[in-house]
Amino acid sequence: MNWIHNPAFRRFLLSNFGKKQFFWKIVSFVLRFLKMQSCIFCKIVNGEISSRKVYEDEKVLAFHDINPQAPIHILVIPKKHIMTIREVNEDDKDLLFSIIKTCNKIADDMGIGEKGFRIVVNTNPYGGQTVYHLHFHLIGGRQMRWPPG
Ligand code: AMP
Ligand code: ZN
């Protein structure tokens, strides 16, 4: 706890604490931290829960869905905790590009790149989202139907 007594840290707190913006930043950081503690996909990212990984880099993780809806059903997720696609912002441009690149790479590696596949992002209750950590379902290996259920 030595950092609490650090003069630079104290100066930083004193000069910022009165500011509303700073207060809300702290509140949102704490809320985000608490959500991450209970998030099943964050637990997969940090290894607390095991998964059948198919790809990993510093920003993205991909693993087999535990309840596959097709012969190939992979979840591609950002390692960073983002609740839904609605929380994605300007800073996440590179991350989204990495996720799409990863989907294409996995589709090619699994031999469905040319045949075709589907990418689904269920969002909020009416979208059928059950895990609130952004994830892209990469589904393939059979003919997809439309409209979806
Ligand atoms: P969604 O309903 O769009 O939020 O998708 C959540 C997906 O996560 C479902 O397809 C689940 O089968 C899958 N899922 C939940 N828990 C796990 C887990 N521990 N490992 C792999 N997939 C999971
Ligand atoms: Zn999470």
Per-residue pLDDT of the chain (149 residues; tens, 9 = 90+): 566 677 777 777 767 767 778 788 888 788 877 877 789 999 999 999 999 999 999 999 999 999 999 999 999 999 999 999 999 999 999 999 999 999 999 999 999 999 999 999 999 999 999 999 999 999 999 999 999 98
* Domains of the chain listed by start with CATH number: 2-36 (no CATH), 51-140 (3.30.428.10)
Residue identified by tokens 């009416």 is 126
C-alpha span between 114 and 107 (Å, rounded): 8
Residues around ligand 2, an ion, CB closer than 5 A:
39, 41-42, 81, 133
C-alpha span between 31 and 43 (Å, rounded): 17
Rounded to the nearest angstrom, the distance between the alpha carbon of 42 and the centre of ligand 2 is 4
| 135 belongs to the catalytic site | yes
Specify the pTM: 0.84
Rounded to the nearest angstrom, the distance between the alpha carbon of 41 and the centre of ligand 2 is 5
Q: Do residues 85 and 68 make contact, with C-beta atoms less than 8 angstroms apart?
A: no
Degrees, nearest 5: CA angle 113-114-119: 45
Rounded to the nearest angstrom, the distance between the alpha carbon of 2 and the centre of ligand 1 is 41
Comparing CA positions, the residue from 75, 131, 64, 140 lying closest to residue 102 is 75
- Identify the three-state secondary structure at position 122: coil
Residue 42 token pair: 């964050």
